[in-house]
Amino acid sequence: MNNILLEHIDCDFCGCKKYKTRYRKPDNWLWHTQYEFPVVECINCGLVYLNPRPTQESMANFYPKDYHEDRNTESFKLRYQRQMEYLPKLDSQVILDIGCARGDYLAFLKACSPNIEVVGVDYFSEQVNYDYIEFHKNTLPGSNLENERFDIITAWAVFEHLHEPSIYFKEVFKLLKKSGKFIFLVTNSESLYGTHAYAEDIPRHTYHFSEKSLNNYAEKFGFTKIKYFYETKFWDASGRGTFHYKLMELFGSTWEKRFLGNTSSIQKIAGKIGGKLDNLIFKTNWEAQKRKSGILIAEFTK
């Protein structure tokens, strides 16, 4: 793994060094390496995370240069509309978006509610595309924002990418006004998406959360009035892939064979049968109704 350094870590929430391995998976999007990263579960508190994982400096190898581009397209605007449904009615609030990329989501909100004040933080973007957005190219703790300034803080598919979520939860609490809301989307570690469909974006997803682990963070850092919502509609966060992978594994398929293109005829047939089962079983939105979908949206109130 040229230019990629790995680090072993303790549990971010409780500091426990002991864990059990759930599964191993390579970066089957970019394939910069065939290394199969272990997804582990803390023995003490149940937090699910990557261990070992690429260091913060090495993680840049896993993000293409255009990762934050083209987020003002119609497909993204549909997602922004969906995200907006989880916000309180907008009037004149001060809103912070963590991981704002080029600022397209904040621009969407501003177009809908011109009186709001919008602030964005993103460590990996050089700038935003809108001069009315107050932008900080930094980590959230390094942005030196004023405490108790914000009515609403959002983070859409950001916290699963962090290296130290506890620092961010602590910082969000400080930045929120009294009764302010933190609304964020993470992947659900207890879904088929997260446990059997190999759908987590490894190694970019360094932490995978559940109601239990989020409750732990909320209690530790002082949040109240916790609400949870389950979704599959922002992207396909169903368990689709579960039967495809399991049947192929049953007939001896491995990640290495997939990478090398050494999939046998029987394995290909098994994969197609599994795919048809996936399409049938995950055709409806039953996972969200059972609180088992791959997307988990949380609302914490200070």
Domain count, the chain: 1
Is 246 part of any domain? yes
Is 83 part of any domain? no
- Please report the pLDDT score of residue 241 as a whole number: 96
Which of these ranges, 59-63, 72-76, 131-135, 298-302, has the smallest mean pLDDT? Answer: 72-76
Residue 270's domain spans which residues?
242-281
Is 272 part of any domain? yes
Q: What is the pLDDT of residues 182-224, one digit of tens each?
A: 999 999 999 999 999 999 999 999 999 999 999 999 999 999 9
- Please report the pLDDT score of residue 67 as a whole number: 76
Mean pLDDT of 270-284: 96
Is 140 part of any domain? no
pLDDT at 150 over 90: yes
Is 222 part of any domain? no
Is 22 part of any domain? no
Is 52 part of any domain? no
Task: Report the distance separating Cα 152 and Cα 95, nearest Å.
Answer: 5
Q: Is the pTM of this model over 0.85?
A: yes
